[in-house]
Structure 1
């Protein structure tokens, strides 16, 4: 894609788009929530559906001319049902956070109680942080991972639920490297008469491929993102049983949103269709294998991993033991300088701040999309080590940057 049509009317934007395309080609994307969608998904998201208003749902729109919009949305819904085995699916949320907001709107009143994983222990802003809408509208209490093991303590969660009597328990994460026992959290919710919302934003693809246990059919509501490990159009999704279908649909529209972004829905439909191909299961399995290899490489090089490893697509490194004077922000900045893009991240028992945390989070979905396997992930772990061990050493940076470019060239993106 040359962006010639953009350039003809807006050269600065065309330059920025072209530069971003080149940046993605020439760097290793290791932010755990990022991936590279196919060019088919990109095309669907840039389609003429950008022009179409389609308030409402298929067959019940508030505008005319929606026959093809209906067809696309119905395809996205049916493919999602096939992927995750859900009774009811809403593909209109603009993001995973919007999906979470819709669930809250459907079953909670302002001031109701939420019990969720603390942000510094791997949770998400939309689970109830005080700077987010959820923390402002609802009474939020958090559970944490065990300080020693870095893992969820389900008995502790159940006790906290009994103590706080929440209206909804939120499970799921943005930085937790282990599988979640959805049934244990559902039991805790049932015991106090609470709803259970499982947020699988990071692991939608892993769940679809059977690489992570599914909460569908266990939790009352399952929300997620559609652009992370599932590699579909950017946005959100909600899944639930038929008994909650009307409440969820009404919460999304007209409760939360007006017209859906139909071009995004088209991207979701295409990406879901790609994920139904058996090759996607092989991809998801490789994502998990690659994360495991990366984690082992980092541990062999002296880094400490939260929970001691990973079951998923990400590793969470606690720098305080191996590099006590290096912050996550220091590491993130240095690694980006050599073309490795990940993020500084809080860790359980955080002693710094979210803006200057003690850990780094690294994910494997995007590198796996590029074709990276065990050997490349071992190399990436060694490259990360060389940079963090030698902060500020320009010679090391130059050597690592050259190896990063070789890896990028060997695994081209968007040729």
Structure 2
């Protein structure tokens, strides 16, 4: 047999070479396979992305839409359930609940429209038996979206019985169709009379109306178990019955608070520019309280006395453009004898009480009960108030009020 030991070096070298070749081939094979995998991934990536996009479009998007609709339905259902729960309790102690078909019949299919407001349309109706005339306010979709204003109005005036507060006869609530049924006020709202020369009142009648409004507001503040803050006292929200007895109406913005609680959250910031109290805009003027209604009533009194809106840029005399500023100058820059010659005694009283009510700081204003005492007393018993903030001096008496009102308008619009 041949001795292979002599060939061992050569054999070893051959073996190493063979192994190296095998490893090299294996590495080349792996590199080739990796390259093919990479090419496949590049080729198929767009297809995979298209597949994923298709799945999202066909599956995920409908699920998102369904979730949104379910969430919206759930919120609406909760609102309706909350309103229904409230109304079931209210039925035992409050006004009558009517079906929507009853409302259609009472209004004669909404034939006689009395007016249009920010919260819906008002129609005249007749309740049977008895042929009782009523005014029915149909709340629009915007007012009904959360049910807050509806619950606020029913809860605040549903149990109130006062000669100077409008009476809520009944209501309707079927899903999102809601209506409020009030006693009918044949002479409409106060603004139609005080801003029209054709429908003016005597000073005695104006004073009587002012006193009635003050008593109605005071009842809301002090005569109920819970303090009711109206937050929207203005001529349009004062209704007049057959004998021109005034009644405070429209409680959509009203809020209930425990008596003696002076803190009202800033979320209550709503109202009408020209009547809204300064503290409703900034707490630097004081806390929001019943004094906020006193301010609005003061602006109303001045408009009743002047027979015009407080801010009138078209006034014949620029110094008269802002009535509260102009009338304050009239009351303070003349001798008492001259004032009495120029102004009726009751006009002067209404102006003085109004100026007391519109002091910029809430703590400088009287309570509504004190306002009633001033209106019932003689004009000499009414003190001359301090100069309101916007009546700065005779040179800025016109500029200042417009600057102040524009600030209120801007802040109010930003808060909406």
TM value normalised by structure 2: 0.30
- Ranked by relative contact order (alpha carbons within 8 Å, sequence separation 6 or more), the top structure is 1
Tell which structure's C-alpha radius of gyration is larger.
2
**Quick check: which one's helix share is greater?**
2
TM-score (norm 1): 0.30
